[in-house]
Chains A and B, each alone.
Chain A
Amino acid sequence: MREFLTIKSLHKYFGKLVALHDISFCVNPGEVVGLIGPNGAGKTTLFNVITGFYRASSGQIIFKGQDTTQFSPNKLAEMGMIRTFQIPRPFKELTVHDNVAVGTLFSPERINQTHTSTEEFIEKILKRVKLHPLKDQPAGILGHGNLKLLELGRAQGPFPELLLLDEPFAGLTISEIESVSEILQALAAGGLTLIIVEHKLRELMKLVTRVIVLHYGEKIADGIPKDVTQNEQVLKAYLGRRWSKSNAGY
Chain B
Amino acid sequence: MIWRKELFTFAGVGIIFIGLALIAPISDYDYYLIGVLTSACLWVIYVVSWDLLAGYTGMLNFGQLLFAGVAAYTIALFELNYPIPRPLMMLAGLIAGIGSSLLIGLPSLRVRSVYFALVSFAMLLVFSRITLTFIWIFGGDYGLSIPRVYSREHLYFTIIILMAVTIVTMRLVVRSRIGMALQCIREDEETARAVGINVSRYKLLACLISSFFTSLAGICGFYYMGHVGPEMFGMMGSFNVVLMGVIGGTGTILGAALGGGVLAMVLEYMRPVAEYRNLLYALLLTVVVMAAPRGVWGGIVSYWNQKRRIKKGI
Mark A residues whose CB is within 8 Å of B: 51, 53, 72-75, 77-78, 82-85, 89-94, 98, 101-103, 105-107, 154-155, 157-158
Contact A85 B183 (CB under 8 A): no
Contact A107 B191 (CB under 8 A): no
Contact A77 B193 (CB under 8 A): yes
Contact B184 A85 (CB under 8 A): no
B19 within 8 A of A: no
Contact A107 B194 (CB under 8 A): no
The smallest C-beta distance from A111 to any residue of chain B, in angstroms, reads: 12
| Supplied contacts A77-B193, A103-B196, 15 more A-B pairs, CB within 8 Å | A74-B193, A74-B197, A82-B195, A85-B194, A90-B188, A90-B191, A91-B183, A93-B183, A94-B183, A94-B187, A102-B180, A102-B181, A102-B197, A105-B177, A106-B181
On chain B, the residues within 8 Å of A75 by CB distance are 198
The smallest C-beta distance from B199 to any residue of chain A, in angstroms, reads: 7
Question: What range describes how many residues of B lie at the interface?
Answer: 10 to 19
Give which listed residue, A72, A85, A102, contacts B198 with CB less than 8 A.
Answer: A72
| 19 CB-based A-B contacts, threshold 8 Å | A74-B197, A77-B194, A82-B194, A82-B195, A83-B194, A85-B190, A89-B191, A91-B183, A91-B184, A91-B191, A92-B187, A93-B187, A101-B180, A102-B181, A102-B197, A103-B195, A103-B196, A106-B195, A158-B195
Tell me, in angstroms, the Cα distance from A93 to B298 when the chains sit together: 13
Give which listed residue, A72, A77, A92, contacts B195 with CB less than 8 A.
Answer: A77
On chain A, the residues within 8 Å of B197 by CB distance are 74, 102, 106
Given contacts A102-B180, A105-B177, A105-B180, contact A74 B187 (CB under 8 A): no
Tell me, in angstroms, the Cα distance from A101 to B195 when the chains sit together: 10
Tell me, in angstroms, the Cα distance from A78 to B194 when the chains sit together: 9
Tell me, in angstroms, the Cα distance from A19 to B295 when the chains sit together: 47
Give which listed residue, A53, A84, A98, A158, contacts B196 with CB less than 8 A.
Answer: A158
Contact A73 B193 (CB under 8 A): yes
